[in-house]
Amino acid sequence: VAPPAPTDACPACGGPLQAGRSAPAAEPGFGEVALLRCTTCGTAVTDAPAAAELYESGDYAPGPPRGARAAAPLLRAFDAQRLRFARELAPPPARLLDVGAGRGRFVAHARARGYDADGIEPSARGVTGARDSYGVALTRAGIDDAQIGPGSVDVVTLWHVLEHLDDPGGALARIHGWLRPGGGLVVGVPNLGSLQARVGGARWFHLDLPRHRTHFTVAGLRAALAGAGFEVVAVHHALAEHNAFGLWQSAVSRATARPSYLFHLLKRNAPWRSRDLAITLLALPLVPVAIVAEVLAGLARRGGTVAVTARAIAPPR
Ligand SMILES: [Zn+2]
C-alpha cells in the first residue's frame, strides 16, 4: 500500500497544508524541490518523490569522511550528550534500541557505558560498516519491518531519523508498541523554527532535500508525539552535535555557489578546486561567532536542532 500523498494533511499535527516555497536540493543535479507548509504547526513537507538511491550515493557515499580520525573525540562528546538524554529516561543496564543506527557508533558507545544496546538500520552499508568499524551486529531492518517484541525495550533513540520519513506518526506509533509502559524515547530532529533556518533560508543546511521529508517545528513534533501516545518530558535546544556547524554552514552557503560546500568536501562529494573553497576558508574565523550565536539561539529556544525526551503513556490514538 502506497503511503498517502503528502498533500493530504500535515504528517505532524494533521492540519491543512499549503504550497510553500521551493528550495535547492542538497545533491547536485536534482534541481529545486517544492515544500508544503502546515498552517497549524508550521511544519513543512517535501513535495517530491523520495529518491531511495540517494542513500547509497552522494552524502551517503561509501568510505569514511575526511578527517574522521581527527573528529573522533568530538564524536564521543556528541554521543555522550545523546546518551545523557537516554539516561534521564532509563539508566543502564536498561535495554536500549537505536533506530536508524547508521554505522553503529552510538550502539557501541552505549554498550561501553553499560547499556544492553542494539540497533536496527535499513541500509546494507550501515550494517556492514557497523560490523567492520565497531564490531556491532546491527539488525538490517526499517521501522516498518523490524521484528521487535512488544514492550521489550526500555528506551529508544531516534536520532535524525524521523525527518527522513513520510509517515512519522506511523513510525512513532510502531515504536510506542516496542516500549514497555512508561518507556523512554529520545528523538533528535532539525528545527524549522530555529534561528539558523531563518538565516539559511532556502539554503539552510538541515533542509537536506529531498532526503528530508518532514521538516518539524517543535509544535509539530509535540503534536506527532502526543498523537502516538507519548508524553513529552523535555525539549533540549542546546546541542553540540549539529547546531553550531549548521548555523555556520547555513550562513556561508549564502555566499558560495554550491550550498554546504565544506560539508560536501568532508564527505568527499565536492571538488577541492573551487572558488567556494576560498570563501569557506575566509569564513573559518567565524566559527566561534557561530558557536556563541547558536548558544544564544538555544537559550531563546530557537536551536538549530532539538532533542525531545518523551515517555510512552497511553496507547496511540
Ligand atoms: Zn502541522
Whole-model pTM: value is 0.89
Distance in Å, CA 208 to ligand 1 centroid: 20
Q: What gap in Å lies between CA 245 and CA 228, rounded to an integer?
A: 32
How high is the mean pLDDT in each 10-residue block of the chain (317 residues)? 62 96 84 95 92 57 63 87 97 98 96 98 95 96 97 97 96 97 97 95 92 97 97 92 86 87 83 86 91 92 96 78
The per-residue pLDDT for 54 is: 58
8 A C-beta contact, residue 178 and residue 156: yes
The per-residue pLDDT for 56 is: 55
The per-residue pLDDT for 4 is: 47
Residues 6+ apart with CB under 8 A from 152: 95, 178, 180
Cα dihedral sign for 89, 169, 129, 137?
A: positive
Distance in Å, CA 307 to ligand 1 centroid: 19
Distance in Å, CA 233 to ligand 1 centroid: 21
Distance in Å, CA 44 to ligand 1 centroid: 8
The per-residue pLDDT for 29 is: 73
CB within 5 A of ion ligand 1: which residues? 10, 12-13, 15, 38, 40-41, 43, 220
Q: What gap in Å lies between CA 192 and CA 4, rounded to an integer?
A: 23
Distance in Å, CA 279 to ligand 1 centroid: 37
The per-residue pLDDT for 189 is: 97
Distance in Å, CA 276 to ligand 1 centroid: 36
Distance in Å, CA 200 to ligand 1 centroid: 22
Distance in Å, CA 18 to ligand 1 centroid: 11
Q: What gap in Å lies between CA 37 and CA 21, rounded to an integer?
A: 9
The per-residue pLDDT for 6 is: 46
**Residue 209 CB-half CA count within 13 A:** 26
Closest to 11 in 3D by CA, of 253, 293, 227: 227
